[in-house]
Every structure is written in structure tokens, then in C-alpha cells.
């Protein structure tokens, strides 16, 4: 088996000719030491300036020594090094290994400028381990695709230039160059799934199938191609399924698809909204409990950072809603002939009053100041919209405006002298007096994207004078 050839990096990075910086994720281990040393050999032919990034997770007593080793390695080769120090603490039931990986990639994503590259030293054996782990977890085509050679990360790209190289090749290179590296003792802990596969399972497989890492990596590439086809079909189908509310899916249209395509479309839709994907069980529940629910039901499937709900014929995905303001909340608000605003609780943004031009110029004939109160989740009140002649219940107005029942407790209700005069984002309530302050009431900056999408209508109204 031949040693790794640094010239391989040049051809692999040619498509990224506009990159201004090439970052190498440098742990100080053998793999990343080989990658950084190889990149140093061909640095003049790389599309951008070579840099290294070391993340000290603070999880081992010797982590400061490892950071010092990385600094010396880079100093001897005149490579600019950035070191980030983290303090991690896993919550009960949380994997410290997964937490460290998530924190590390968050550092990487924040580091990259537009078009920058981050090179990691994952190799063919890592790819084989990743595929086996995905199989044992019951992953689908995307999971079985394991690690792609390149992917978007932050404002730049993540590139794995060693995926076609075997660990033995890298070891030959390291020994030929006399490289020193760090041996992390946690790599020998068989309690970690990846280490168990690396030290117990793959060596035994190689005694019967010597090229097991190569063949498993080839299978991962086949799965990646299949995943691309499925995702391409899902993305092409998605625009045909948009619902009546912004950002939603039509349940009727979704139900016309075969179930495998339904799942693919749901994943594409969630990713377009920036949400992490649910596990298989929760995805099935979205179809069985939310999509298939009665039109008047209020089902919910949630996972970290996301909630999926329905209203009428539309499927919603949104950031988990905070606890709604209590019914006892009563926010006083003085408005007049000048613009004013009121900050709302629970991250619900602000209410803004924008008086008509004539009012702002002191040309209005109403009172200069009104004492208002903003409340939530009130019952028993009625409102006569300005375009109608009969009073209507709040429930009826919400239904007409298409406001889901699970959003209604968050809608600010504006009162004057205990009379309801406006439902923020929905309508103003006509008042028997014709005179008063004229202007617009707006609800802005709602934390929840779907609240902002549904209840974004400015209310042009005349408040009682």
C-alpha cells in the first residue's frame, strides 16, 4: 500500500479557486497532523492562505498540553493557528461526545468567512465506521451515505480530502516525515460505539474481507447517490404542495403522495425552514397523528427546536411556542398624536401606534392621549369590525382571519375603558363615536415565525375620542 500523496489535495481543491482561506481542523492526532503537514507541502498551490484551527474542549486534564503541542507544530511550519477553548458540561442523558462534536462544528461554522474552506482529516476507515454506525441505528439513505466529500458549513464549505485514503497510508506518510502526534486515551475506550467498531469489529472483518473499508465506503457513495435522487424529487415536488398560510403545506395535496415521498417532502420542507430533522418515529407520528387528524383537531409532534401542528387544511412547522402570557397580564399603554410602542411579554415583539399624518401634525380633533390596556386570552368579549355592522365573538373573528386555535392565546387584545377596540393583526373594532385618534396599529417583531406570517396585517382605525 502506497503512502498518501500531498498532490492529491491540489486537484481536490481546484473547484474552490475563489476561497481566500483554507482552514485545517487540527486536533494534534495522527490523521489531522498528516493533513496539515501535507497541506503545508503544497501550500503554494492551494487556492487560499493556509490556517489551522484547534478546539480545546477542556475535557481531559492534558488538553492544555495538547493545545501547546499544536501551537508548536504550527510554529515550526509557519502556519497561523487559532485556538478556541471550550467548557462543556453534558446534561443528564446527553452524550458528551455528541455535545463536543456539536460545539466543535459550531466553532468551525462561526470561523469561516464567505467561501472559506474547512478541511477535516476523516479517512476511509472513518467512513466505514460511520456507515456501520448508521446501519446499527437503522438510518435511511441519507444516513447510510455517511460523510460527503464536501458540504456547506456556515458561510463556507467543509471538505474531507482524505476520504479515499486508508489509515495505513496516512501512517506511512507520518512515519516517513517523522511527524509527532497526540494519542488521545479516549480513543481506546470501548464504551464508545465508534471505538468498539474500530478496535473489535473491523479488525475481525478484515481477516476475512481485507478490503472491507473500501467496499463499505463504496456502498456509502451508492447510498449518497440514491439520497440525492430522493431529495431532488422531494424538492421538485415541494412547491406543488404549499398551503394557504405562508410557509405551510397543504395536507390534502400531501396525502395524495405515496408515503415514501411524503416523508421525503416533509424532510425537505423542514430543512427549508432551518429545522433539524426528526427521528423516524416522530416523522411517522407527523403523518399518522397530525396529517391524518380531524380537521378540527389540535395535534402536536415536537422535537428539539421544532413543533409540527395543523390548522384546517395546512401543516405548520414552527419554533416551539413559549408559555402564553397569563390572562391576568394587563399592560397599560398611553397613545396619542405621536408614534409610540409597547413591548410585549414572552418574546411576542412590540405593538406600534402610528398616528395618521393629520393627527401627528396636531390636526386631529380627538383627545391628545388615550389610556389603553393590552391583555391576552380574554373571553366573553365581542367586536364589530369596521367593515361590518354586527358584533361578532372573538372565536368567530379568529376563524375568519385563519388564526389557529393554538396561536390565539398569544394575540394582544387592546382595550379602552374595558371595551375591546382592537385585535392585533386581525382587525379594529368599530366605536359608536366617529371622532377620535386616527392611525394604524401594527404588531411587529414576533419571535415565532408563524405568528408573524399569519398576524402581520396593519390595522387602520380610529380610536374613541
Give the model confidence (pLDDT) of 170-224 as tens digits.
999 999 999 999 988 888 888 888 999 999 999 999 999 999 999 999 999 999 9
Residue 1's CB is within 10 A of a number of other CB atoms, namely 8
Q: What nine digits make up the cell of 122?
A: 476523516
Mean pLDDT score across all residues of the chain: 87
Residue 274 domain-assigned? yes
Q: What is the pLDDT of residue 90?
A: 65
pLDDT in tens, 86-95: 887 767 666 7
- Domain membership of residue 233 (yes or no) is no
- Look at residues 273, 293, 318 and tell me which one is the last residue of a structural domain: 318
356 vs 257, residue with greater confidence: 257
Both 337 and 313 in one domain: the answer is no
The domain spanning residue 254 has which CATH number? 1.20.59.20
Q: Which of 175, 197, 225 is the last residue of a domain?
A: 225
Looking up cell 498528516 gives 34
Q: Kindly report which listed range (117-121, 151-155, 293-297) carries the lowest average pLDDT score.
A: 293-297
Task: Clarify whether residues 292 and 372 are in a common domain.
Answer: no
Same domain, 42 and 150: yes
Contact by Cβ (8 Å): 324, 346:
yes
Grid coordinates of 70: 499544536
| 273 and 211 part of one domain | no
Q: Is residue 262 part of a domain?
A: yes
Q: What is the CATH number of the domain that holds 58?
A: 3.40.50.620
Residue 94 falls inside a structural domain? yes
Number of domains in the chain: 3
The dihedrals phi and psi of 354, each to the nearest 5 degrees, come to -120, 100
User: How many angstroms separate the CA atoms of 140 and 150, rounded?
Assistant: 20
C-alpha cell at 455: 398576524
Asked if residue 246 has pLDDT above 90, the reply is: no
In this structure, the answer to whether residues 208 and 248 fall within a common structural domain is no
Give residues with Cβ within 8 angstroms of 389, minimum separation 6. none
- Domain end position, chosen among 165, 190, 225: 225
**Domain-embedded: residue 194:** yes
- C-alpha to C-alpha distance for 130 and 341, rounded to whole angstroms: 53
Give how far Cα 127 sits from Cα of 132, 144, 186, 329, Å.
Answer: 9, 10, 19, 55
> For residue 364, is pLDDT > 50?
no
Nearest of 169, 174, 212 to residue 37 by alpha carbon: 174
Residues 158 and 20 in one domain: yes
pLDDT of 286 > 90? The answer is yes
- Same domain (yes/no): 311, 335: no
Q: Per-residue pLDDT tens for 3-54?
A: 678 998 999 999 998 899 999 999 999 999 999 999 999 999 999 999 999 9
Domain of 381 in residue numbering reads as 331-464
**Mean pLDDT value of segment 70-89:** 92
Shared domain for 314 and 350, answered yes or no, is: no
Question: Residue 113 region, left (φ>0) first, then alpha (ψ -120 to 50), else beta?
Answer: beta
Percentage of residues of the chain with pLDDT beyond 70: 90
Whole-number pLDDT of residue 461: 62
Amino acid at each position: 500500500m502506497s503512502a498518501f500523496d500531498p498532490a492529491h489535495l491540489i486537484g481536490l481543491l481546484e473547484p474552490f479557486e475563489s476561497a481566500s482561506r483554507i482552514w485545517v481542523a487540527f486536533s494534534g492526532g495522527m490523521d489531522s497532523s498528516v493533513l496539515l503537514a501535507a497541506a503545508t507541502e503544497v501550500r503554494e498551490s492551494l487556492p487560499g492562505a493556509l490556517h489551522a484551527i484547534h478546539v480545546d474542549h477542556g475535557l481531559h486534564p492534558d488538553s492544555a498540553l495538547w493545545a501547546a503541542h499544536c501551537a508548536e507544530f504550527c510554529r515550526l511550519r509557519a502556519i497561523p493557528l487559532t485556538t478556541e477553548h471550550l467548557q462543556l458540561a453534558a446534561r443528564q442523558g446527553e452524550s458528551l461526545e455528541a455535545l463536543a462534536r456539536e460545539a466543535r462544528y459550531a466553532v468551525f461554522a462561526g470561523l469561516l468567512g464567505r467561501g472559506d474552506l474547512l478541511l477535516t482529516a476523516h479517512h476511509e476507515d472513518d467512513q466505514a465506521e460511520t456507515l456501520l454506525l448508521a446501519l446499527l441505528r437503522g438510518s435511511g439513505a441519507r444516513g447510510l451515505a455517511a460523510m460527503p466529500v464536501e458540504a456547506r458549513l456556515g458561510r463556507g464549505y467543509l471538505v474531507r480530502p482524505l476520504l479515499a485514503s486508508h489509515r495505513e497510508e496516512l501512517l506511512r506518510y507520518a512515519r516517513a516525515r517523522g511527524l509527532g502526534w497526540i494519542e488521545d486515551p479516549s480513543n481506546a475506550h470501548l464504551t464508545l460505539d465508534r471505538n468498539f467498531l474500530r478496535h473489535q469489529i473491523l479488525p475481525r472483518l478484515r481477516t476475512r474481507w481485507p478490503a472491507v473499508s473500501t467496499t463499505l465506503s463504496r456502498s456509502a457513495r451508492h447510498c449518497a447517490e440514491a439520497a440525492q435522487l430522493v431529495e431532488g424529487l422531494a424538492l421538485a415536488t415541494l412547491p406543488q404542495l404549499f398551503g394557504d398560510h405562508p410557509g405551510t403545506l397543504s395536507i390534502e395535496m400531501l396525502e395524495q403522495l405515496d408515503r415514501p415521498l411524503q416523508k421525503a417532502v416533509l424532510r425537505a420542507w423542514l430543512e427549508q425552514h432551518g429545522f433539524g430533522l426528526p427521528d423516524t418515529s416522530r416523522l411517522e407520528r407527523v403523518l399518522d397523528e397530525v396529517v391524518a387528524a380531524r380537521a378540527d383537531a389540535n395535534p402536536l409532534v415536537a422535537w428539539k427546536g421544532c413543533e409540527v401542528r395543523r390548522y384546517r387544511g395546512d401543516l405548520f412547522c414552527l419554533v416551539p411556542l413559549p408559555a402564553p402570557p397569563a390572562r391576568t397580564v394587563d399592560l397599560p399603554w398611553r397613545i396619542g398624536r405621536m408614534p409610540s410602542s409597547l413591548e410585549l411579554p414572552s418574546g411576542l415583539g412590540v405593538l406600534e401606534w402610528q398616528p395618521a399624518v393629520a393627527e401627528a401634525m396636531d390636526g386631529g380633533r380627538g383627545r391628545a392621549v388615550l389610556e389603553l390596556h393590552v391583555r391576552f386570552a380574554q373571553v366573553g368579549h365581542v367586536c364589530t369590525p369596521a367593515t361590518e355592522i354586527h358584533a361578532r365573538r372573538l372565536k368567530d373573528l379568529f376563524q375568519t382571519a385563519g388564526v389557529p386555535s393554538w396561536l390565539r392565546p398569544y394575540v394582544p387584545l387592546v382595550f379602552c375603558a374595558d371595551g375591546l377596540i382592537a385585535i392585533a393583526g386581525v382587525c379594529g373594532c368599530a366605536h359608536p363615536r366617529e371622532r377620535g385618534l386616527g392611525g394604524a396599529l401594527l404588531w411587529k417583531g414576533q419571535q415565532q415565525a408563524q405568528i408573524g406570517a399569519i398576524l402581520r396585517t396593519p390595522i387602520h382605525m380610529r380610536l374613541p375620542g
